[in-house]
Chain A
Amino acid sequence: MKITFPRLGTVHVGLKSVLEDLGHEVVVPPRITEETVNLGAKHAPETACFPLKINLGSFLEVFREHPDVDMIVMAGGVGPCRFGYYFRTEQDILTDLGYGHVNWVVMEPPRGNLRQSLDSLGALNDGCSTWQVAAALRLGWRKLVAMDDILKTVHRVRAHETQRGAASRIFRAAVTQMENADSLQEVDQIARQTLRRLQNICREDDGDTVRVAIVGEIYVSMEPGANLHIEEALGYLGAEIHRTIMVTDWAKENILLDFLRWDSRGKDHKEAAKPYLNHFVGGEGQASVGSTVLLADAVDGVVHLMPFTCMPEIVAQSVMPQVSKDYDVPVLTLVFDEHTGRAGVLTRLEAFVDLLRRRRRKKGQRSIG
């Protein structure tokens, strides 16, 4: 089988590794660019979610170069969020466009239908032993964990780098190295090396660093191509980033730990969100509110990201002003789709970071006085 899958942050680093070790040929979609977005928007329904449009554009880019790809692996979903419906919509559109030959393997969250989840895992295993499957999963997982560690450091270091863009360059190099790593030792070594290099490019913290939490919908939070590279932009403005959801967190909650009905992160968030939003609204809606409450004291401000028409995040957005007021933490909501202009987003971010910095200085003065 020649397999592709949706591109999302660093997911491909681990997923490619697993699928290759299971004996498949893998085509990683090219980076999400404006062209991907345009291609997807052209063929998707106008009111579809932005991530669906990007997925679609991304698959079309893959087929353009590799018409012989015959399997797509993606996650499914249950609940009020339209994510659970992506696969059907994308399948229909791609079939209309002449790609009806593709097999779709959809990883439904086990809580939806355990049998179906196991079946889809089975569909990907073509004669490997349980031991081989376990080893493949282990290596892929270790890569994802390593990339998350590296990314978290990038989020911090970028605010202090002496040469603009240095952290991004090191990060991109690490992605490539990690994709090609084929042992656990190698993964650890790359991670160590990268973390050391990242430490060497930053100047000392002058105590004036602004800390910003990023909360919101999974796809636009984790995929730089979907959020106009907002993490880079914030870093260049001198803000350290604390992103509440990383690739491994998401995978744990939606694919692995879900088997055990264990929802560690979710529990705290649900509890914290309760006074404002006391039931599940789909996607990350409740978690966005919960994380804002939990992080209010640890950060200077919160940036809330969502795709245009994202129902769960619209619900979250409508209670944010109250959370912001009660916890005295500024919240900036940014909405993304194919019409979003970079200039407008940058202006708002710059103004937001200015706001946070001036607030911080003022607070500092007050505590001294």
Chain B
Amino acid sequence: MEYYLGIDVGSVSTNLVLMSEDEEVRQDVYLRTAGQPLRAVQQGLLEIAQQQDDDLQISGVGTTGSGREIAGVFVGADVIKNEITAHAIGAIKLIPDVRTVLEIGGQDSKIIILNDGVVVDFAMNTVCAAGTGSFLDRQASRLGVDIEDFGRLALQTDNSVRIAGRCAVFAESDMIHKQQIGHSNPAIVKGCCDALVRNYLNNVGKGKDIRPPIVFQGGVACNEGMIAAFEEELGCEVFVPEYNKVMGAIGSALLAKEDMQHEPRPTSFRGFGLHSMDYNTDNFECEDCPNRCEILEIYIDGDLAARWGGRCDRWDRTDTVSVEEKAVGADN
């Protein structure tokens, strides 16, 4: 049996999915990125390697998420794709006739509108991260509630307190204010969920044609309070997939499979041995033209493994110019 690996490196979590050729999830790993994307990827590879047979055959690897570039060059990905495409592909796999995908992650939120299995419109939050997972995380810890229980708290009451949801800073001070005048925690949490949903639909979802079936995914889709608030506001059922937290990784594995079958070739995957290798990254500014691109480099076990970040392909190859020549090149 052949397998495909999907890796989604987000701001808050790093997720890996091992998917079989017939598109069944064999293993999924959900980890905190904790500011160290490559460490998280290594940990994920280790967990998969520990649970699976040694002769596990990987036929393709895809990466996505805000850390897709670095993770991609690190593991040797065959497909590096943005998270909108990856999430849409993941959702279509689950519900082929899905029309709307609501996705709220750690730092960004997006809405994807589909028609006949094709993305026809999308939007991402622009200026502010209010209403994303990081904000909920922070509010949960401020109220002294586990993030896992935060949403459930909202379901304990029918009373909702009106919270200003436009901006994370104002929302927080409003929540504190509501606490200080004596509202209960459940009512405040419910108010918070309602405000976030309102904010999401008015900003990210502005002008979008939201139609069922609706899929809600991303880390925040684990929050029962948010699910209830969406259902109430949209007036229809909102599906949360079984693998809601790793939908990006699933989409990424599917994209890898699609691409490898479209253009058959051996995978560039460096193997599970990566989990124990030393790596370090470096960067420099290319002075070859006025674009002044910031070029990043990654070394695995001391060897230059990849460079990226340039607008042209001058530094993309690792075999032509050594690091020492780089300084010379910059002078010329």
Contacts and interface: CB of A to CB of B under 8 A. Distances in A.
Interface of A: 30-31, 33-34, 163-165, 168-169, 172, 229, 232, 236, 321, 324-325, 330, 335, 343-344, 347-348, 350-352, 354-355, 358-359, 362
A362 B118 contact: yes
Given A30-B290, A351-B122, A355-B119, 5 more contacts: A164-B316, A321-B207, A354-B119, A355-B122, A362-B116
B172 interface: no
A197 B16 CA distance: 46
A119 B164 CA distance: 55
Given A163-B313, A168-B312, A172-B289, A351 B120 contact: no
A315 to B, nearest CB: 14
B124 A330 contact: no
A299 B144 CA distance: 53
Size bracket, chain B contacts: 20 to 34
Contact of A165 (B85, B119, B124, B313): B313
Given A165-B311, A165-B314, A33 B124 contact: no
Interface of B: 66, 81-85, 116, 118-122, 124, 126, 207-209, 289-292, 311-314, 316
Contacts of A169: 289, 312
14 contacts: A30-B290, A33-B290, A165-B313, A168-B311, A169-B289, A229-B291, A229-B311, A330-B120, A330-B121, A335-B126, A347-B84, A354-B85, A355-B120, A358-B118
A165 B122 contact: no
Contacts of B82: 347, 350-351, 354
- Determine chain A's interface SS by DSSP, over half rule: helix
Nearest to B110: A351
A164 B313 contact: yes
Contacts of B120: 330, 355, 359
Q: Which 4 A-B pairs have the closest CB atoms?
A: A165-B312, A351-B84, A321-B207, A164-B313
Given A31-B290, A351-B82, A354-B119, A344 B311 contact: no
A350 B208 CA distance: 20
Nearest to A163: B313
Contacts of A325: 209
Contact of A232 (B118, B292, B311, B316): B311
A324 B113 CA distance: 13
A31 B122 CA distance: 33
- Determine chain B's interface SS by DSSP, over half rule: loop
Contacts of B311: 165, 168, 229, 232, 236
Contacts of A330: 120-121
Contacts of B289: 169, 172
A164 B312 CA distance: 5
Nearest to A339: B127
B119 A358 contact: yes
Nearest to A361: B118
Nearest to A348: B124
A318 to B, nearest CB: 8
B291 to A, nearest CB: 7
A350 B66 CA distance: 13
A232 B313 CA distance: 13
B83 to A, nearest CB: 7
Contacts of B81: 350, 354
A347 B121 CA distance: 14
Nearest to A224: B291
Given A165-B314, A351-B85, A354-B82, A359 B118 contact: yes
A33 B207 contact: no
A335 B127 CA distance: 10
Nearest to B125: A344
A2 to B, nearest CB: 23
A215 to B, nearest CB: 17
A267 B118 CA distance: 36
Contacts of B84: 347-348, 351, 354-355
A348 B83 CA distance: 9
B230 to A, nearest CB: 21
B256 to A, nearest CB: 15
B280 to A, nearest CB: 22
A33 B292 contact: yes
Contacts of A358: 118-119
A157 to B, nearest CB: 15
Contacts of A362: 116, 118
B277 to A, nearest CB: 26
A44 B235 CA distance: 47
Nearest to B122: A351
A170 to B, nearest CB: 12
A236 B291 CA distance: 15
B207 to A, nearest CB: 4
B107 to A, nearest CB: 10
A230 to B, nearest CB: 11
A232 B121 CA distance: 23
Contacts of A165: 311-314
B329 to A, nearest CB: 15
Contacts of A350: 81-82, 85
B83 A347 contact: yes
Between A31, A324, A325, A348, the greatest number of chain B beta carbons within 10 A of the residue's beta carbon is seen for: A348
A225 to B, nearest CB: 9
